[in-house]
Structure 1
């Protein structure tokens, strides 16, 4: 065997010995043992001590070593038998070769001169180094393949999992104007309660109202979000995110402290698949981040969308600095209840409320210091407009009317509404003595044209500047159509008069935003900062009040005013910020609301 190994070493290690079924470390041990055993057998043959039919001491050593490896479970019995056979064959070949070439005894260094001396064959340094290098390479190869000998390495499935999240702690203040009206009806509360009797003769209780005069100070609030994304293949990944929140409303994941130190709710905020068939397009399905290029004029930054969306972004071959992008999406907003109405054998048909969205735009990297991005979008909210029900005889025991399912699942405030129930008077009650528990739906459909632009530049080669602008118009806005309906509209910023005439009515379909940001728009590294000022103007029916920013005028439409903001990174991905939002109504009774937010934020 020593000759065989020398031949391998003489060819520069082109032949590699391997033992099937054993580990690399034990292979090295076995190889060294066989080298020593073969060397001893070689010495004994030169001294005529190996002419015995029984196993020699060196051969017994190899066999004992192999049997020990079998006992420890390192190799199988079949592999052991193969190794023993190979060892005996090579020993016999070496013995025959030495007998035919006695001159090989010259390879023995310091031959035995006294009884008891042992002859040790000389193994050249180059052979020993080749054995060492071969074992080292095999060990490293196995370590890399099995991830057991490299520092900071994990199994393959761990490398395909990504964690992300963020945390925010906020101190918030609400300041109400001293001249505000104190009689703004809370129509969202009416719908959430299942209706409110608006007949003053049968219900002298005050309509639900919102707070418009009493300040709220030191509202401690926090937001926590934690997500997991798994790479399933090169084209497909899946993600889940949990988030805090006071309720299941769509526009905020902020929780308010208090409640006697009660534990806070955790909601499923995201659940999606992301399929990328090419480098320039992907498809989203489930519940995911807003896929459109927009601002909180239309959609809250916390808003997640349910549905299906396809996005693309590709640079022009002739102009690689210009990237075209676009998004198509279909999103279910509200389904008709499966068993509606519950107190009738006749069920209402499906009347799902949808949003269909399409956007196309371009991102132009003009040069190192200037970048311009713009897009045009169309959002079609279908089946949103409410209608007056068929005659509804609640006095006979009915618990719902035919159009109750048209009441919005969520509202903030500002949109024009109309009464949904056509309540039949009780003939057994006196005139005007029939209770009228009413629900309210939207008076308009919403088909929005949205134009958004953003310009990033650098002033004096060092100061970043970003300009944002957005304009929206509701193309479905039609006052004549609203007032020709069976149920007259009412503004949800109006006073307790829910039967306002057209001369009392004020609304509009337009909205816009202008914003200037100096510094880093999103501070990441310590020392980065920004300062921003924005102006918003949003008429009552320019967009759905349900989905936009919940902080400006405390949510909804029919608001105008400015927003001042500043942020400073105190560490990597950790920053403090402050915002002051000052807003008041566009139409209707005075409602001025200022909001101050002081925050500590971190993301990971």
Structure 2
């Protein structure tokens, strides 16, 4: 037998209607009196049930019962007196029994409805009741929305034969990167857990807080490798922000928040958090066309400059403008963005000094070309051996980064609920300067390529979001990302295990096994474009759940 869920709001409505009928004034016939007594008994049972469920305190229930009984007796007494007075006026004998009998006359439906709403409103006001919460709970609970998800992953990293040794990556000044494995395949069980709250503070201000697993020194991966030797997983804030609604179409956000720009994982890893402030304006141009403009300032690495440390703080100043067109059959979106990374390139130390040591990047994946920050005096000591990075000296990025990004997406809705989505993304580092690059690296002009462009094309077919049972999606993509097209620190951490100087294919599929639960798989096959030989295939199987 299925037990129905107890509904406090419905119970109070029933009590309100019963109270209205019990307090009506005219006389009752025998059958009507019996029905009213049954209704009165049901109402009292409902009140007792509210008490047993913890929704209503016993003291408040006693008050309700007492008030209802007093009102009923008062109404009955009033009716009896009125009848006795009329009988006396006509000279009729007074029937003592009839004078104490109550009759319920016909009440129109609209009057019943009005009376029911009034009684319900009065009861809820007295009991401090709000729909969806128990009695007496503070109102801030209504203003918090909890969110979270858990992902279990099996990952296999397969390395191609003929890959360069990890020592070659460390010793190669212009391709310096912390690559520790290039030949031994690896199987891992990984986990990601996130728990957050969206908070409505008032009509114009809201906030968000989210905790996640993952390393505290890796800004692009919240994954935690599972192994029993780790007694506890780390759990830290990756979202904490305030958002102000400044108008119908204008908002401003500050703190640590999700990526505010429209794009793909060609430029930004999906898990990357942005620190800083940004504003967004979304005007409507017509019934089917809207625009969006986003601009912000984001600190990357705050550095305390001094006489002995001449490095400057690193910043991102970014802006994007786009347009969206949507009908019942097709939706399209197009945007152009410019992301200016300030002070991220390396600067040569003064001879026999380390005054520009902090121009070296605090976090890297791999791919960006580098040079030795100490090379000005290492070359003078040993011109034939310019490998300061190999001996522990700091390496700086050899290029400036001003990324021009163009992103477009077309979504066909003709076969709804199946959507066909084609996405294209292009990026060019217009800050790359060949002369500056040559001066820093010591390479002769003409001996190197710019390697400052990247693109990605992706086709996806399936339901718009895989959130329910039997929802599905399949997709395929091709990516080509040259060494200095974007900062290797912030691009996708899965494709060739992160970084730039990579090209290859991505295939994947997802299937909903129940509400808010789905399985997915991805295969990413990537090779180097021009750098040291390094081919990596990554296979991932995920079980996802969210709430």
The equivalent of 2:373 in structure 1 is 420
Where in structure 2 are the equivalents of 1:579-594 lying within 5 Å?
579-594=522-537
Out of 144, 147, 152, which is 1:161 matched to?
A: 144
Q: CA deviation digits over 1:84-125, x for unaligned, max 9? A: xxxxxxxxxxxxxx8xx96488584237xxxxxxx9555553
Partner of residue 122, structure 2: 142
1:514 equivalent in structure 2: 457
Please state how far the C-alpha of 1:481 moved relative to its aligned partner: 1.3
Name stretches of at least 5 consecutive residues in structure 1 with no aligned partner. Answer: 1-7, 11-21, 47-97, 112-118, 191-197, 199-205, 394-400, 426-431, 490-499
What's 2:302 paired with?
335
> In structure 2, what is the equivalent of residue 109 of structure 1?
95
Matches of 1:478 and 1:107 in 2, distance apart? Answer: 115
- How many angstroms apart in 2 are the aligned matches of 1:369 and 1:208? 48
Deviation, 1:143, is 3.6
1:326 & 1:240 partners in 2: Cα distance? 25
Q: Which of 367, 386, 404 is the equivalent residue of 2:346?
A: 386
Once the two structures are overlaid, the 10-residue window that deviates more, 570-579 or 265-274, is: 570-579
**Alpha carbons of 1:33 and 1:174: their partners in 2 closer, same or farther (altered >3 Å)?**
same
Q: Does 1:308 align with 2:277?
A: yes
Distance 1:551 1:137, change over 3 A: closer
- State the shift of 1:23 in Å: 6.6
TM-score of the superposition, structure 1-length normalised?
0.70
Shift of 1:543: 0.6
**Counterpart residue number, 1:13:** none
Residue 328 of structure 2: aligned partner: 368
1:24 touches 1:135 (CA, 8 Å); kept in 2? Answer: no
Counterpart of 1:238 (choices 207, 226, 242) is 207
The answer for the alignment partner of 1:351 in structure 2 is: 312
Q: Which residue of 2 aligns with 1:175?
A: 158
The answer on whether the counterparts of 1:506 and 1:587 sit within 8 Å (CA) in structure 2 is: no
Q: Look at both structures and tell me which one has the larger radius of gyration over its CA atoms.
A: 1
The counterpart of 2:432, out of the listed 435, 453, 477, is 477
More off after superposition, 320-329 vs 139-148: 139-148
Determine helix, strand or coil for the equivalent of 1:278.
coil
How far apart are residue 136 of structure 1 and its match? Answer: 5.7
Q: 1: CA distance between counterparts of 2:72 and 2:416?
A: 68
* Separation of aligned partners in 2, 1:120 and 1:208: 99
Match of 1:58 in 2: none
Kept after mapping to 2: 8 A contact 1:392/1:422: no
**Aligned position for 1:228:** 197
Instruction: Please report how far the alpha carbon of residue 328 of structure 1 lies from its aligned counterpart in structure 2 after TM superposition.
Output: 0.7
Query: Matched residues in 2 for 1:30 and 1:278: separation?
Result: 54
Measured against aligned partners, the alpha-carbon deviations of 1:149-185 in whole angstroms (never above 9, x if no partner) come to 6774344322211011121111000111111111455
Does the residue aligned with 2:474 lie in a helix, a strand or coil? Answer: strand
TM-score norm. by structure 2 comes to 0.77
RMSD value over aligned CA atoms?
3.7
The alignment status of 1:449 with 2:379, answered yes or no, reads no
2:381 corresponding residue in structure 1: none
The number of residues matched between the two structures is: 472
Contact 2:79 2:102 in 1 (8 A): no
- How far apart, in 1, do the equivalents of 2:94 and 2:399 lie? 105
